[in-house]
Structure 1
């Protein structure tokens, strides 16, 4: 019979702490930022400011939802920002130039982005092109199409429904926040409670083992990249409603912010680990950080630099926590 020594219990507790640290690291990062900005600014800890944070991250939340699916399979999508921009351009162009009746411009924009996402998936899963390369090429294609349709000009005539989604309210709650919550909720349900969701995790964790288990990993990767294209398009339409016009180019930080939100929350770039709750925490980290820097007296020319430094520090903390968790698992 094995005799339990005094050191076994502390070792078990230590391993448990190491394993839980990885999942808790993003949450600790968020709490530290909340406490810091609450102490540094008198206007930060107010309901109206938290409402502004939710509005600011809602568009990114929809885009990050699709990226979560892609990263869980171990792939990457660099085209989401430009596909989202193209969705807004297509809807505005169909309204202003083609004079299509509503809601055809919106449907057309979503179909186009879904097809572009499917093409990314087909090229990756069926043709064997690395997702990094084919989505990089798609980024250029989508950007070029946006420039072609707009001719470098801003289109101000946009669908009324898009205006409502991007700038309307239901009582005190912005519709954009409601749409983001619905998209995140549906994605969480799919990933956690459906066979497709289980296959997504299996594909990312060990693709060869998933195939031996009968999972069509090619179809899963294709579907996830198609979902990413669709959510990017929906995000672009919502952003079109917020801005009130279609721009020929997208903000340079949209792509990095959407991916960073997913990774900061703890979703692994290697696939198979993470999910929508992680993405939500990552979104809040970015939202609090950007809003908090606006609240305190920060040099406008240093704001981007400070944001990058804090993001690197948060990622470093996540990596350290992940290694501690792996060490704990190996000790068992």
Structure 2
């Protein structure tokens, strides 16, 4: 009891605070998202995400080299195709934009891990994550036919040189289908990072600008999770683990740190947190207006993700964080 116990004793000196710090963020925790588009020498800034760009493959390679030099171990690739259709052809075609970007990055920076987002919304003309019933404007995706598209997409991405497959469509059985497809094609050792607990969140708005993936009608609440549900996330991760997931993701992160904690307590698999576009955009907007100290707020947020149980952090702040860490 006071005055014998004085917790402030361990806060008196910067080096002492550093010695007793419980949670540490490092460059190895970070994954940097990149958006690939057709063309050459293209670097188009996303208006709702200052500092984030749609990049042609030559520019993606330049970014990949910079990321690797900063000590960040991995990128995750998203693609915007030339054309979209109801079969999401650009997602699974051997010459799809993500496949071409993956091969280019692996040739230029072989030791950088390339994670590929395995989803269909950027490639469908309606903006939903799979096949729809003809004439249905509710956005209800046909689950089982869509699994075949996801399987084809994952195999094409693996053939292009991807190091990690990251399915994000929240279809029932998607991990099992992709695992089967990869194994049948000789990719038994290729890991799956499943978007296991992905919520139907309002925080995704700026991403849909970047990936040009907003639904043309309806919404994604028939396949993404209700933000009010926590126990359901544990059911989702249990299913994905049983189906063969090697790593698990919670998305978004900032408003879902309780879910990150619960997922981490429920599994011994690595857990990733996706610090999504809306979270990034809010910080950037406040910083640009001089309302917050960007570096301090971002580092506090990254530390909070780690403290809540995240082993990996997907974040658009990754390059800045790596520089600040030195």
TM-score, scaled relative to structure 1: 0.27
Structure showing greater radius of gyration is 1
Instruction: Return the structure number with greater helix share.
Output: 1
Q: Which has the higher contact order (CA 8 A, sep 6+)?
A: 1
Instruction: Return the structure number with greater strand share.
Output: 2
